[in-house]
Chains A and B, each alone.
Chain A
Amino acid sequence: MTRADAALLTALVLTAGILFVLLPRYVISGGSTVEVSSDNVLYGRYSLNKNRVVNVPGPLGETVLDIRDGTAFIRSSPCKNKQCVHMGRLDHKGGLLVCVPNRVVVRVGGESSDELDAVSR
């Protein structure tokens, strides 16, 4: 292992560390909007503060999203690994629940980034 190798390895670990701290701040912002998309298409937008159960259709079947007491979690999913079910609950601090096999993405946070933040004239 040469010095350049060691420098590269160190740089990689540092970059990963820095991104690990910084990225979530840009990608996730807290809020109380639950945005559900299925197969890359927006399926619906709900408030985190109102209890409801959403059945999200995907290629494999229905992923059941439960919004309860200010938290959102995947209750059941037709996929094989059930990783989305084990991803836990999200609250107003924001975050993502993703079921890759059933192509369902649940995002909790502020308003979606494809809307305008502000308009100036």
Chain B
Amino acid sequence: MTGRVERLTRMALLLALATVIHTVEALLPVTAGWFRPGLANIVGLTTLFLYGFKEALFVTLGRVFLGSLATGLFGSPAFLLSLSGGVSAMAAMGSAHRYGRRRFSVIGISLFGAVFHNIGQLFMAYLLIIRHEGVLLLLPVMILTAAGTGLINGVAARFFIDHFRKVTRM
């Protein structure tokens, strides 16, 4: 019984944290195009390692919905971009975690997530905003930025996971 309550509380904390990061990130001024570091994914990645795929998907979908309500962007293209990015990142990280856990560390799985986040977003941008083959020109830029953000988020997630395990004695 306590186990279930504890689990629920921790999931709620993770979701709240992810939502806050997601919302604050959405409020950042757009500096370099529409590039964003995707820091909220650190929480999704942590949940994946600590609890599993279903829970991580729940946290990701939850933060996209709650975050869009907080910023007032629910249903807008920005929301759909976050949604497609989040879902593809989660699918990629889930499979990488399931089949490649022995080879890849948190950092590798974070890289998979970042790349597929950007590819999912680019695909959605193509569908929604500009149906033009020129969108493909952004692909190398997206992959390169994903390599950078994936690396940083992976390192951050490793610290987070270690700390979370220590604090909660999981």
Residues in chain A within 8 A of chain B (CB atoms): 1-2, 4-5, 8-9, 12-13, 15-17, 19-20, 23-24, 27-28, 37, 40, 81, 83, 96, 98, 100, 103, 105, 107, 113
12 extra interface residue pairs, beta carbon distance < 8 Å, beyond A15-B143, A28-B134, A103-B129:
A2-B103, A5-B104, A5-B107, A5-B111, A8-B104, A8-B108, A12-B147, A16-B141, A17-B140, A23-B139, A24-B137, A96-B137
B66 → chain A closest CB, angstroms: 26
Q: List 19 A-B contacts (CB under 8 A).
A: A1-B107, A1-B108, A2-B104, A4-B103, A4-B108, A5-B104, A5-B111, A8-B111, A12-B143, A12-B146, A13-B147, A15-B140, A16-B143, A20-B141, A23-B137, A27-B136, A98-B130, A105-B132, A105-B134
Q: Which residue of B lies closest to A22 (CB)?
A: B140
Complex Cα distance A1/B104, Å? 8
B70 → chain A closest CB, angstroms: 21
B115 and A12 contact, CB distance less than 8 A: yes
A96 and B105 contact, CB distance less than 8 A: no
Interface string of B104-127 (1 = CB under 8 A from A): 110110011001000000000000
A85 → chain B closest CB, angstroms: 14
B116 → chain A closest CB, angstroms: 11
A40 and B136 contact, CB distance less than 8 A: no
Most buried by A among B105, B132, B151: B132
Complex Cα distance A87/B40, Å? 31
Main secondary structure of the interface of B (DSSP, over half): helix
B64 → chain A closest CB, angstroms: 21
What is the count of residue pairs linking A and B with beta-carbon distances less than 8 angstroms?
81
Most buried by B among A19, A81, A103: A19
Residues in chain B within 8 A of chain A (CB atoms): 30, 33, 100, 103-105, 107-108, 111-112, 115, 129-134, 136-137, 139-141, 143-144, 146-147, 150-151, 154
Complex Cα distance A40/B112, Å? 31
Complex interface: chain B residues within 8 A of A17 (CB): 140
B144 and A13 contact, CB distance less than 8 A: yes
Complex Cα distance A100/B146, Å? 21
Question: Which of A5, A16, A28, A83 is close to B140, meaning CB atoms less than 8 Å apart?
Answer: A16
Complex Cα distance A12/B112, Å? 10
Complex interface: chain B residues within 8 A of A103 (CB): 129-130
B111 → chain A closest CB, angstroms: 5
Question: Which of B103, B104, B105, B132 is close to A107, meaning CB atoms less than 8 Å apart?
Answer: B132
B111 and A40 contact, CB distance less than 8 A: no
